[in-house]
């Protein structure tokens, strides 16, 4: 993921991560002019740019050294960011209705929608409270542990058990154990929503949900309709995958653990949140589809360490014509988990100064999953670098889904052909392995789709008051059953706050971006492979080393957020509409296979 520094603070485009200052507009008191707007925006961007590093460094230190003092410092920086972000947004309202150039209209909208969780303006006490709450929730998450067999385990260690164990009792213990971290967050979360809605209403939005949905260059209700259209396009593929996996889990565990019909037990899917099912591939792998290699084993046998993993990811981007990462990237990134302190280990990419101080923070392990994650995280960094000549408010992705899609699009090129080019394998598997390769990827990509939708659907209901604090957990699992077709392994405690056991809830990071990115990355893949003249199956296409495709790709990245996202999409793909059919086309051979395997089954839940 791309690091959003302003959970509870402003995210002025990507750059919003840190700001402080007076925000004096210089606008005329009665009838502001275009010249006043020019001066206001120049002054606002100057403040945002000048103070960016302050809050970025503070957040970086806090996540890398979780202590009372770094929590305090990050809370203070976050409060200052929030106050300035809201102040600038409120002041920008005076220019509403003024006939401004298009780029300035975009900047005004960026200011109004920049704060992920705004506090009411002019109330420092409430702003400080909001900052304290958001920092506390994130730190509680980062320091969370649960004791298994007498040993206190962190999330990374607990996730390894969920990914590797096939003992349903152990899976249930660990799955439920991690969720003991989040109940203390519930009151904080409810208070944060209360404050944030007050701030959003002051900015002219009905609530935080409408504010978040207003960042997509269309009215909120239209964006919600777009999302539902995309889900409708890909839902049949997910339903068939769910049906197939449920059958295999029933064969593995029996009716008492996983029934033949209905929802799937969430802890059996190989991931702490059932958002990625690839860890259970060995249980569901199609017969006679072994590609003939195990990437994790190969990486270890070839002597890969965390640094070589990242160097390999960098090499993909430079093969497309991008400049190598700066020396400071290697000096300042956190690439492995430190042994002497608690850190927020969730993989993230950072742009510290909005220019060239780009970094990743990742507790990298030598395995196939992190090999792809490295390619994804570096996509954020190369995107950040590509648009660093834009104005401050345009130093961001065309929309937040773009930022997530870029790295995942590149990771789609981590194909057997690419692995052979790297010398990791000596022979590319034949066509008989395709269903296995597609199944493995579908367990990651297709399985994620309803989860990516569910996270923000839950928050939209909370922000709009449709779900009250006493309903938080029930609503969370109602949506899980509706969209994912999953249920918890047992009854949940009365005080459970299971949403908070997911990083993006605790850190208040909007999640629709991930759903959109999983659609966009396949559009990018299809367009890039057509540009490369690829005529084989789409899932076998790798653009590694293709500088012509890289040049067109870079053109889109350099636009940043300076134009509406359909303009950026068109620059690379030739179309202005986000569309799920490219993903459906990518998995078409698998869909045929799944329907054959599911014949006679009662699919759905």
| Alpha-carbon gap, residue 145 to 300, rounded angstroms | 28
| 564: its two tokens | 């509406």
| Alpha-carbon gap, residue 3 to 334, rounded angstroms | 13
| Alpha-carbon gap, residue 17 to 49, rounded angstroms | 10
Report whether 488 contacts 477 (CB < 8 A).
Answer: yes
What number of other Cβ atoms are within 10 A of residue 464's Cβ? 14
- Which residues are the active-site residues? 346-347, 376-377, 380, 404, 504, 514
Q: How many helices (H) and strands (E) would you count in the chain?
A: 24, 6
End-to-end CA separation in angstroms for the chain: 31
Which residues touch 311 (CB under 8 Å, ≥6 apart)? Answer: none
Give the residue from 179, 199, 120, 146 showing the smallest Cα distance to 472: 179
Report whether 299 contacts 367 (CB < 8 A).
Answer: yes
How, if at all, do strands 348-351 and 358-361 pair? antiparallel
> Nearest 10 degrees: CA dihedral of 540, 545, 551, 552?
-10
Q: What is the DSSP string of 391-419?
A: -GGG-S-SSHHHHHHHHHHHHTT-SHHHH
> For residue 56, what is the enclosing H or E element?
helix 34-64
Report whether 378 contacts 8 (CB < 8 A).
Answer: no
The C-alpha angle with vertex 261 and arms to 258 and 266, in degrees rounded to 5, equals 45
| Alpha-carbon gap, residue 470 to 285, rounded angstroms | 41
């Amino acid at each position: 993921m791309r690091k959003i520094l302003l959970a509870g603070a402003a995210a002025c485009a990507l750059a919003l991560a840190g700001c402080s200052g007076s925000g004096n507009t210089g606008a005329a008191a009665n009838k502001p002019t275009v010249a006043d707007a020019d001066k206001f925006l120049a002054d606002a961007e100057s403040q945002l740019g000048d103070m960016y590093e302050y809050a970025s460094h503070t957040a970086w230190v806090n996540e890398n050294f979780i202590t009372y003092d770094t929590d305090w410092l990050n809370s203070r920086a976050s409060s200052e960011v929030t106050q300035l972000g809201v102040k600038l947004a409120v002041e920008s309202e005076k220019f509403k209705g003024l006939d401004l150039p298009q780029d300035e209209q975009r900047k005004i909208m960026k200011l109004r929608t920049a704060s992920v969780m705004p506090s009411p303006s002019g109330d420092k006490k409430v702003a400080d409270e909001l900052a304290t709450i958001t920092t506390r929730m994130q730190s509680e998450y980062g320091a969370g542990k649960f004791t298994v067999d007498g040993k206190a385990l962190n999330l990374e260690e607990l996730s390894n058990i969920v990914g590797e164990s096939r003992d349903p009792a152990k899976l249930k213990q660990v799955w439920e154990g991690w969720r003991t971290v989040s109940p203390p967050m519930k009151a904080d979360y409810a208070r944060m929503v209360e404050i944030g809605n007050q701030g959003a209403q002051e900015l002219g939005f009905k609530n935080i949900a409408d504010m978040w949905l207003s960042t997509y260059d269309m009215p909120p209700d239209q964006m919600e309709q777009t999302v539902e259209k995309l889900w409708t396009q890909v839902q049949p593929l997910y339903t068939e995958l769910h049906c197939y996996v449920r059958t295999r889990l029933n064969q593995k565990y029996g009716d008492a653990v996983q029934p033949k019909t209905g929802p799937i037990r969430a802890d059996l899917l190989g991931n702490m949140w059932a958002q990625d099912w690839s860890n259970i591939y060995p249980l569901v792998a199609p017969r006679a589809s072994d590609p003939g290699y195990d990437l994790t084993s190969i990486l270890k046998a070839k002597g890969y360490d965390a640094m070589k993993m990242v160097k390999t990811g960098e090499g993909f981007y430079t093969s497309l014509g991008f400049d190598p990462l700066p020396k400071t990237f290697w000096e300042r990134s956190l690439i492995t988990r430190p042994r002497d302190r608690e850190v927020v280990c969730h993989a993230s990419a950072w742009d510290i100064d909005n220019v060239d101080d780009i970094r990743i923070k990742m507790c990298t392990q030598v395995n196939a999953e992190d090999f792809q994650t490295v390619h994804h995280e570096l996509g954020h960094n190369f995107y950040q670098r590509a648009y660093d000549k834009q104005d401050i408010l345009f130093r961001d992705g065309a929309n937040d889904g773009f930022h997530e899609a870029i790295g995942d699009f590149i990771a789609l090129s981590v194909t057997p052909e690419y692995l052979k080019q790297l010398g990791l394998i000596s022979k590319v598997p034949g066509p008989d392995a395709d269903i296995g390769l597609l199944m493995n990827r579908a367990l990651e990509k297709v399985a994620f789709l309803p989860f990516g939708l569910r996270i923000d659907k839950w928050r939209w209901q909370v922000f709009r008051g449709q779900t009250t604090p006493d309903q938080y957990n029930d609503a969370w699992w109602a949506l899980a059953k509706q969209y994912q077709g999953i249920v918890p392994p047992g009854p949940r405690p009365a005080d459970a706050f299971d949403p908070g056991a997911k990083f993006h809830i605790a850190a208040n990071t909007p999640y629709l971006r991930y759903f959109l990115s999983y659609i966009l990355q396949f559009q990018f893949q299809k367009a890039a492979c057509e540009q490369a003249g690829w005529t084989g199956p789409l899932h076998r296409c790798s653009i590694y080393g293709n500088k012509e495709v890289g040049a067109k790709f870079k053109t889109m990245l350099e636009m940043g957020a300076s134009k509406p996202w359909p303009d950026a999409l068109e620059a690379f793909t030739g179309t202005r509409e986000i569309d799920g059919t490219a993903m459906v086309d990518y998995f078409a051979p698998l869909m045929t296979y799944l329907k054959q395997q599911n014949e006679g089954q009662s699919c759905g839940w």
